[in-house]
Amino acid sequence: MTKMSMTKFIQKMTILVIAVTSSVAVPVTSVSAQQPQSNERDGQSPALTKSAADQYLLRDDDRQLTEFQQKNQQVDQEIRIPDEEELITLLTKGSSTRSSRKECLSQIPLDQMTQANRTNAEHVLKDLSMFRVLPKIHLDVNHAAYAFFIAHPDVVVSIWREMKLSEFQMWQTGPYSYEVDAGDGTVGTLDVIHQTPKETIVLCSGVYKSPLLAKPISAKALLHLQTEYFPGQDKKIDSISHQVSMYVSFPSQTVEMAAKILAPVSNAILDRNFKEVSIFMHMMSLAMERQPGWVERIAGQLEGVLPVRRPQLLKVAARVYIDAKQREAAAAAQKGEVPNRFVPPKPIDVISQTGNQVPRPLPRNLKVQPVSRGQSPQ
């Protein structure tokens, strides 16, 4: 077994379950998103790095430019790409120390699980081979968008494939269960065994097969996601802080030893993956606010998800878009400004009262009697 094979397995095993968390019920308003407009930038595939910011942060105003204006824009005027620190805030770093493991173990609500789920969770915890608490990250994200992606990780994976970010595949096989295929020999199952609005525990089982390995590598993992919600007020957007604790059990002692040797590498990969997932949440929320047409196009091309997920994604995008417009209106009103969406009424044509239409002709049989200055009209 090579170091690269082991590292890839740990990475694939974890990133597939990092997004599977609680299904927080958030009502959405049924409003259709705006129609997508043709633009070459629509065909680009954003990445979860600086190039993603360049794609997502393009405003809908840019789409209204004429072809002449686009050709005559100055080449040296480039859109400023925000740094990672501007997209997310790192509250605490990842850790694998004994003290952090002890603290995280004490926060697992085993007493709130069903007997069967508790048994499955304890099976992993009693034969623990690897532990990692990922960084605690704070990010601005609309709560409706965050809750939707957390509740439907298969939609997240499908968007990744459409954006050419990943070859992962995920299928929902039950109300709280999924099957996954990384496309490189890694397959597995995910089961949400406990969930509340602020935390979720996921049990996953995975197997990695490779021609370079004499036997397949199997593993079980338990992931505990904890989320804090901070509602936005007036002109401020919603935000959240979340963190994942990961517990992995390898049946083979040889694999366990290799995992410990490769821990410095795999831990860095896991921390980075979680940051990128957080950036994805933030950027998708911005896309719903500023480019709902792009989100609508993506929704129409999702594969491997239930048909109902597409209109659900559009409804969430519409709600996020409306929330953003309401914040802009509130901020403008606070400053005494007129919101951009306000359109003043058109002046009435005093002659025809029909705007730009031609005045209505008078009837031919109409007789007009002259009125002298000394008379009053009858």
DSSP codes, 226-282: EEEEE---TTPPPEEEEEEEEEEE-S-HHHHHHHHHTHHHHHHHHHHHHHHHHHHHH
Tokens 């049946």 found at? 251
What is the pLDDT at residue 233? Answer: 72
Residue bearing the bigger pLDDT, 46 or 93: 93
271: pLDDT strictly greater than 60: yes
pLDDT at 135: 97
Supply the pTM of this predicted model: 0.70
List, for residues 336-347, the tens digit of each pLDDT value.
766 555 444 444
- Look at residue 341 in the predicted model and tell me its pLDDT: 52
- Arch. (CATH architecture) of 3-331: 2-Layer Sandwich (3.30)
**Residues, the chain:** 378
Contact in structure between 301 and 155 (CB atoms under 8 Å):
no
Element at 208 (helix H, strand E) = strand 199-208
pLDDT digit string, tens, across residues 108-156: 999 999 999 999 999 999 999 999 999 999 999 999 999 999 899 999 9
3-state secondary structure of 135: coil
30-65, pLDDT tens digit by residue? 333 333 343 433 333 333 444 444 444 444 444 444
What does the pLDDT read at residue 5? 52
Q: For residue 66, what pLDDT band results from cuts at 50, 70 and 90?
A: very low
Closest to 104 measured CA to CA, from 133, 136, 129: 133
Produce one character per residue of 330-348: b if its CB has 16 or more CB atoms within 10 Å, e if not.
eebeeeeeeeeeeeeeeee
Residue 236: pLDDT band by 50, 70, 90 thresholds?
A: confident
Tokens describing residue 309: 């997920």
pLDDT at 212 over 90: no
In sequence order, which residues have a C-beta less than 8 Å from that of residue 231 and are 6 or more positions away? 143, 238
Predicted pLDDT of residue 369: 53
pLDDT in tens, 292-347: 999 999 999 999 999 999 999 999 999 999 999 988 888 878 777 665 554 444 44
Q: Give the closest residue to 17 by CA, choosing from 241, 174, 234, 170.
A: 170
Domain boundaries defined on the chain: 3-331
pLDDT over 60 at 223, yes or no = yes
Mean pLDDT of the chain: 77
Instruction: List the single range of 9-23, 140-154, 311-325, 355-369 with lowest mean pLDDT.
Output: 9-23
Radius of gyration of the chain (CA): 28
pLDDT for the residue numbered 133 = 97
For residues 66-79, average pLDDT: 51
